[in-house]
Amino acid sequence: MKPVSLIQFLIEERRAGHINAELSLLIEVVARACKRIGVATGKGALGGVLGMAGTDNVQGEAQKKLDVISNEILLEANAWGGHLAACASEEMEDPQQIPDGYPKGQHLLLFDPLDGSSNIDVNVSVGTIFSVLRCPDGVTEPKAEHFLQPGTTQLAAGYVVYGPATVLVLTFGHGTHEFTLDREVGSFILSRRGIRIPEQTAEFAINMSNQRHWQAPMQRYVGELLAGRTGPRGKDFNMRWVASMVADVHRIVTRGGVFYYPLDAKILDKGGKLRLMYEANPMAFIIEQAGGAATTGRERIMELQPTGLHQRVPVFLGSKQEVELATHYHREADGAVS
């Protein structure tokens, strides 16, 4: 069968009425920028881009050189792209306006330019996560509050995982699709159309070192997974934890499974570890469009009304039946369900 490039796929989506020309061009710009990020991360020690940047981001986290480089690649690519009203990034306190004199569009782009960057120096997969919202009508200088829209309003979401292969996974709300970069040609080629995540799984991803800090329903739920066939689940489970959300989510998109970053006593005051606007919401959109589920352990992630650009939330996502069981335990413990 003749390979379908990302560009051809975008034309199909426009013809189907799923996206407009501006969104199509925006995704092309983001995909091209991610190819450049992949080249930069691929240089490793030879590129002089490993190690710390010597600065902290808005989260108070020490930035890696590649965090800063990746952020700049995305900002530069989108400044003159003409399809954006503004960008927001994990690496920046406030949204970045499109400079005067550049063509502006009706979209808001949010991204985590290089998620999992603690893995860069040890050569483990990292990735870029992005989300696209519509800029409210009449807003010419979007401020943070204009980005605070529920995940259900996303027009597009995607990630690129820089692993043995560079892979883009994308949704416009009409299924989740995967594109693999043909490095010889430089094009993303459709490799999986209409991905479906198995509703059941025997594989979970969580950072077990936080176990003693978890809330009771999480202790109960994971305890049952660990009990395996000797416990109430009646089957053994396998565990994975890459500590790179994009890599863990891509495994789930590829073969099923669940990913949990629950509340724990260490992060209770922050509301969670992962960021709602540019990690949880885009991943939730991708997962739901592939037949999975994504909650905070208590409610659907995409229905949350954001209160801050860098707001953190707990994340439970993946194979639907497993996420629903873990969520049920939490809601039962809260007395929300019997």
For ligand P6P, the closer of residues 61 and 334 by Cβ is 61
Of 110-139, binders to ligand P6P (CB under 6 A) are 115-116, 118
Q: Which is nearer to ligand P6P, 35 or 273 (CB)?
A: 273
DSSP state, residue 5 = B
Between the CA of residue 143 and those of 85, 88, 188, 257, 279, what are the distances in Å?
A: 10, 10, 33, 37, 20
Type and span of the H or E element at 330: helix 320-333
Q: How far apart are the first and last CA of the chain?
A: 52
CB closer to ligand P6P out of 52 and 243: 243
Of 24 and 128, nearer to ligand P6P (C-beta) is 128
**How many whole angstroms separate alpha carbon 127 and alpha carbon 120?**
10
Q: Which of 43, 207, 216, 303 binds ligand P6P (CB under 6 A)?
A: 207
Write 209-217 long-range contacts (CB < 8 A, 24+). Answer: 210/264, 210/266, 213/264, 213/265, 213/266, 214/262, 214/263, 214/264, 215/262, 215/263, 215/264, 215/330, 215/333, 216/333, 217/297, 217/326, 217/329, 217/330, 217/332, 217/333
Taking residue 164's Cβ as centre, other Cβ atoms within 10 Å add up to: 7
Q: Which of 279, 207, 219 is nearest to 249 (CA)?
A: 279
Minimum separation from the CB atom of position 243 to ligand P6P (A): 4
Closest approach, Cβ 208 to ligand P6P, in A, equals 10
* Least gap, CB of 4 to ligand P6P (angstroms): 30
Q: Smallest distance from the beta carbon of 267 to ligand P6P, in angstroms?
A: 9
Residue with smaller CB distance to ligand P6P, 147 or 278: 278
Give CA–CA dist 181/171, Å, rounded.
17
Q: Which is nearer to ligand P6P, 95 or 116 (CB)?
A: 116
- Phi then psi for residue 331, to 5 deg, are -70, -35
Q: Closer CB to ligand P6P, residue 115 or residue 322?
A: 115
CB of 63 to ligand P6P, least distance (A): 12
> For residue 118, how far is the Cα from the chain centroid?
16
- Six-digit token string for 279: 């990690």
Q: Least distance in Å: CB of 279 to ligand P6P?
A: 7
Q: How far apart are CA 297 and CA 324, in angstroms?
A: 9
Mark 148-187 with x for binding to ligand P6P (rule: CB under 6 A) and - for no binding: ----------------------------------------
Least Å from the CB of residue 79 to ligand P6P: 26
How many chain residues are in contact with ligand P6P, going by CB under 6 A? 9
* Residue of minimal Cβ distance to ligand P6P: 245
Nearer to ligand P6P (CB atom), residue 19 or residue 252: 252
By beta-carbon proximity to ligand P6P, the closer residue of 27 and 252 is 252
Give me the least distance between CB of 259 and ligand P6P, in Å please.
8
The residue count of the chain comes to 338
Q: Provide the minimum distance between the beta carbon of 6 and ligand P6P in the complex, in angstroms, as a whole number.
A: 24
In angstroms, the CA 280 to CA 274 distance is 7
- Contact letters (x/-) for ligand P6P, 230-249, by CB under 6 A? -------------xxx----
Asked whether position 272 contacts ligand P6P by CB under 6 A, the answer is no
Helix, strand, coil share (%) of the chain residues, nearest 5: 40, 25, 35
Determine whether 30 is exposed, middle or buried from the number of CB atoms within 10 Å of its CB (0-12, 13-18, 19+): buried
Binding site for ligand P6P (CB under 6 A): 115-116, 118, 207, 243-245, 273-274
